[in-house]
């Protein structure tokens, strides 16, 4: 575990929130993520399952959480199953959690070895009426690779076909969207680590530097601060910035171009997500500055509209209408084109073709109700952009915003974004 331990009271609260939503005689089963294969006998580094981590703080493969709030035996109402350490496992894979360590991390009192799961689960199935099984139901998820949760669900349904099965994801989607104070502080830490990386980039950015050299500066800073990359970073110089998911990061940054950097640190599995666009030679050209300031105005006004009760489709639509006017001022759209604008075919789509933002937390695109409404405790990104391939200009700016009763709080307020400030920092 690279990060500082998290108070297990956070996970206890999360489990209590979930069980409060369950009907009587319910059983919940949540699995760890798989170790994904590469080639031969290789595997990727384990990426902890977000749902299991949110409920337990556990980051070890093959772990299983079982919740049965109305179980006859009080000791079976909350159980965590983990791999049993042994000498061979320690030699080849390293340290595995003891029962005491798992108890300390998760706050789950009853820790059992994984070998006990089939027998215990059978007894609970016999006394439960509703079985809540988990799956990755994010609207943008790729489901080509079957998750461990879904694979185990198939086995349970085959063995116990007459039970009533329910989806766990709708409950977790509702709960995980709202971050508590500890989660917000972890996100602030991730943002601060990202800020440090971006400042290192500014200190070395100059004509001729390679995109991957900037990526190396980010990786080094994140690692020193106990973080990791939350996702594959985008380091896109010149026309590469017009490719929304560009991540080759293998080209030189050229004099007179801009470089778009979309990056976020992950700290304790909580992800930051920021985008900044910098002039490679330290000075925006008049045209670059005009486009940059247009994007910045839409960003600032969109942040101001990130308020409790706002529906996400209305939030996005307001940004599109504002962007239409900015594009007219930049000479990219005509008033006649804007007059034909509709929600289905926004006039700005040619130059601003993506969404305005998304929920942020355990993962870059965190679970949340797809249309909101925004509520206190939500953390969302705000990321307008303008992309002009024919001019080799792609500008996106992105901050992470906490929704509160008193209005939006910009978690990235200390990350330089004003064009004058960026030029001054690069000149120094």
The confidence score (pLDDT) of residue 41 equals 85
Average pLDDT over the chain, rounded to an integer: 96
Residue 111 has pLDDT above 90, yes or no: yes
**CATH fold of the domain at 9-175:** Creatine Amidinohydrolase; Chain A, domain 1 (3.40.350)
Q: Which of 15, 148, 173, 396 is catalytic?
A: 396
Q: Would you say 269 and 414 are in contact if contact means Cβ atoms under 8 Å apart?
A: no
Q: Which of 41, 87, 336, 390 is catalytic?
A: 41
| Residue 195 a catalytic site member | no
pLDDT > 90: percent of the chain: 91
DSSP β-ladder status, 228-229 and 164-167: unpaired
| Residue 354 a catalytic site member | yes
pLDDT in tens, 248-263: 999 999 999 999 999 9
d(CA 165, CA 152): 13
CA atoms within 13 A of residue 200's CA, in its CB half-sphere: 17
Q: Which of 31, 257, 387, 400 is catalytic?
A: 387
| Residue 387 a catalytic site member | yes
Q: Which of 47, 77, 301, 354 is catalytic?
A: 354
Locate the domains of the chain by residue range: 9-175, 181-427
Q: Binning pLDDT at 50, 70 and 90, where does residue 145 land? A: confident
Q: Which of 195, 257, 273, 410 is catalytic?
A: 273
Which residue, chain included where needed, has tokens 């909101």?
372
* pTM for the predicted model, two decimal places: 0.96
pLDDT in tens, 148-173: 999 999 999 999 999 999 999 999 99
d(CA 232, CA 230): 7
The structure tokens listed for 405 are: 């009763």
Q: Which of 51, 366, 383, 400 is catalytic?
A: 383
Which residue, chain included where needed, has tokens 């409404």?
373
The confidence score (pLDDT) of residue 139 equals 79
CA atoms within 13 A of residue 258's CA, in its CB half-sphere: 31
d(CA 183, CA 268): 10
Q: Binning pLDDT at 50, 70 and 90, where does residue 140 land? A: confident
| Residue 138 a catalytic site member | no
Q: Which of 100, 245, 344, 390 is catalytic?
A: 245
- Name the least confident of 12-16, 40-44, 58-62, 325-329: 40-44
The confidence score (pLDDT) of residue 89 equals 86
Q: Binning pLDDT at 50, 70 and 90, where does residue 391 land? A: very high
d(CA 108, CA 181): 21
| Residue 345 a catalytic site member | no
The C-alpha angle 115, 116, 118, rounded to 5 degrees, equals 95
**Right CATH for 181-427 from 3.40.50.1360, 1.10.150.120, 3.90.950.10, 3.90.230.10:** 3.90.230.10
Q: Which of 51, 195, 262, 400 is catalytic?
A: 262
| Residue 383 a catalytic site member | yes
Residue 137 has pLDDT above 90, yes or no: no
Buried b (16+ CB within 10 A) or exposed e, 108-118: bebbbeeeebe
| Residue 365 a catalytic site member | yes
| Residue 59 a catalytic site member | no
The confidence score (pLDDT) of residue 113 equals 98
| Residue 358 a catalytic site member | yes
Residue 90 has pLDDT above 90, yes or no: no
Residue 1 has pLDDT above 80, yes or no: no
Residue 142 has pLDDT above 80, yes or no: no
Buried b (16+ CB within 10 A) or exposed e, 64-92: bbbbbbebeeeebbbbbbbbebeeeeeee
d(CA 396, CA 244): 10
Q: Which of 366, 398, 400, 410 is catalytic?
A: 398
| Residue 116 a catalytic site member | no
Q: Which of 192, 268, 181 is nearest to 5 (CA)?
A: 268
Q: Binning pLDDT at 50, 70 and 90, where does residue 144 land? A: confident
d(CA 55, CA 104): 14
pLDDT in tens, 264-278: 999 999 999 999 999
pLDDT in tens, 302-341: 999 999 999 999 999 999 999 999 999 999 999 999 999 9
CB burial of residue 259 (10 Å; 0-12, 13-18, 19+): buried
Q: Which of 226, 297, 317, 358 is catalytic?
A: 358
d(CA 25, CA 110): 19
Q: Would you say 386 and 294 are in contact if contact means Cβ atoms under 8 Å apart?
A: yes
Residue 141 has pLDDT above 80, yes or no: no
């Amino acid at each position: 575990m690279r990060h500082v331990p998290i108070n297990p009271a956070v996970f206890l609260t999360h489990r209590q929130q979930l069980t409060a939503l369950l009907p009587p005689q319910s059983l919940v089963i949540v699995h760890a993520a798989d170790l994904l294969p590469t080639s031969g006998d290789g595997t990727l580094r384990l990426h902890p399952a977000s749902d299991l981590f949110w409920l337990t703080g556990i980051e070890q493969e093959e772990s299983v959480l079982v919740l049965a709030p109305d179980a006859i035996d009080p000791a079976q109402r909350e159980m965590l199953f983990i791999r049993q350490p042994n000498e061979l496992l320690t030699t080849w894979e390293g340290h595995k959690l003891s029962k005491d360590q798992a108890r300390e991390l998760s706050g789950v009192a009853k820790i059992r070895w994984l070998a006990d799961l089939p027998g215990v689960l059978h007894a609970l199935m016999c006394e439960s009426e509703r079985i809540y099984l988990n799956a990755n139901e994010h609207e943008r998820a790729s489901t080509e690779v079957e998750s461990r949760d879904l694979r185990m669900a198939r086995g349970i349904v085959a063995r116990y076909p007459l039970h009533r099965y329910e989806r766990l994801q709708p409950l977790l989607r509702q709960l995980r969207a709202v971050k508590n104070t500890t989660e917000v502080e972890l996100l602030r830490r991730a943002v601060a680590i990202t800020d440090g990386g971006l400042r290192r980039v500014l200190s070395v950015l100059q004509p001729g530097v390679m995109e991957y050299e900037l990526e190396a500066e980010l990786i080094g800073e994140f690692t020193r601060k106990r973080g990791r990359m939350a996702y594959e970073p985008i380091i896109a110089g010149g026309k590469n910035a017009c490719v929304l998911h560009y991540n080759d990061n293998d080209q030189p940054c050229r004099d007179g171009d801009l470089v778009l950097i979309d990056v976020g640190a992950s700290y304790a599995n909580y992800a930051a997500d920021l985008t900044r666009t910098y002039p490679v030679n330290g000075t925006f050209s008049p045209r670059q500055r005009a486009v940059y300031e247009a994007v910045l105005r839409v960003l600032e006004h969109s942040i101001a509209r990130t308020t409790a009760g706002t529906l996400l489709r209305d939030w996005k639509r307001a940004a599109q209408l504002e962007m239409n006017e900015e594009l007219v001022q930049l000479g990219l759209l005509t008033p006649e084109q804007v007059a034909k604008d509709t929600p289905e075919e926004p006039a700005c789509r040619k130059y601003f073709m993506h969404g305005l933002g998304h929920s942020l937390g355990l993962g870059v695109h965190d679970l949340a109700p797809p249309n909101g409404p925004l509520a206190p405790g939500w953390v969302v990104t705000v990321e307008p952009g303008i992309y002009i391939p024919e001019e080799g200009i792609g500008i996106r700016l992105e901050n992470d915003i906490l929704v509160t009763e008193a209005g939006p709080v910009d978690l990235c307020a200390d990350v330089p974004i004003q064009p004058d400030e960026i030029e001054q920092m690069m000149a120094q």
